[in-house]
Amino acid sequence: MRGNAQGLTKRQLLPATTVSRSRELRQNAGEPERQLWRALRETLPNAKFRRQVPIGPYHVDFCSHAARLIIEIEGDDHATKQGSDASRTCFLEHEGYDVIRFANADVMQNLDGVVTAIGARVAHMQKGRP
């Protein structure tokens, strides 16, 4: 049986505003997110990353369900939200995802290095899978 006792999937159980919120976040993405999105699509197309994916109560910046990998791009304000980031990461890891974080500055100044690190993590996560 797919889904819960009523046959509803996690996606169907999301609040009605989730899809519009995801769309809004994609349309208002910052420059680091836009650059990383382009790089991921060009460099790692088989990882099939999606952006602004709702998982539980959170929207994650980038997610590859196949690799069970989440990428978060952190702005300057994340330094003051380490407690909430820790609980968010705990929830996402409990859902079976590996979470890696990069600062905006890392993406803007060293995009190739960030993509290389992500590619290595994708390869590691998919290792042993057919």
What pLDDT, in 10s, does the model give residues 34-54? 999 999 999 999 999 999 998
Q: How many domains does the chain have?
A: 1
**Is residue 5 one of the residues assigned to a domain?**
no
**Is residue 63 one of the residues assigned to a domain?**
yes
**Is residue 8 one of the residues assigned to a domain?**
no
Confidence of residue 10 (pLDDT cuts 50, 70, 90): low
**Is residue 13 one of the residues assigned to a domain?**
no
Confidence of residue 58 (pLDDT cuts 50, 70, 90): confident
**Is residue 82 one of the residues assigned to a domain?**
yes
Share of the chain above pLDDT 90, in %: 51
CA distance 68 to 127: 12
**Is residue 68 one of the residues assigned to a domain?**
yes
- Say if CB 79 and CB 39 are below 8 A apart: no
Q: What CATH code is carried by the domain that includes residue 34?
A: 3.40.960.10
**DSSP code per residue over 58-89:** EEEEEEETTTTEEEEEE-GGGGG-HHHHHHHH
**Is residue 9 one of the residues assigned to a domain?**
no
pTM of the model: 0.81
**Is residue 75 one of the residues assigned to a domain?**
yes
Q: What is the pLDDT of residue 11?
A: 67
Q: What is the pLDDT of residue 79?
A: 53
The domain containing residue 63 runs over which residues? 18-126
What pLDDT, in 10s, does the model give residues 100-120? 999 999 999 999 999 999 999
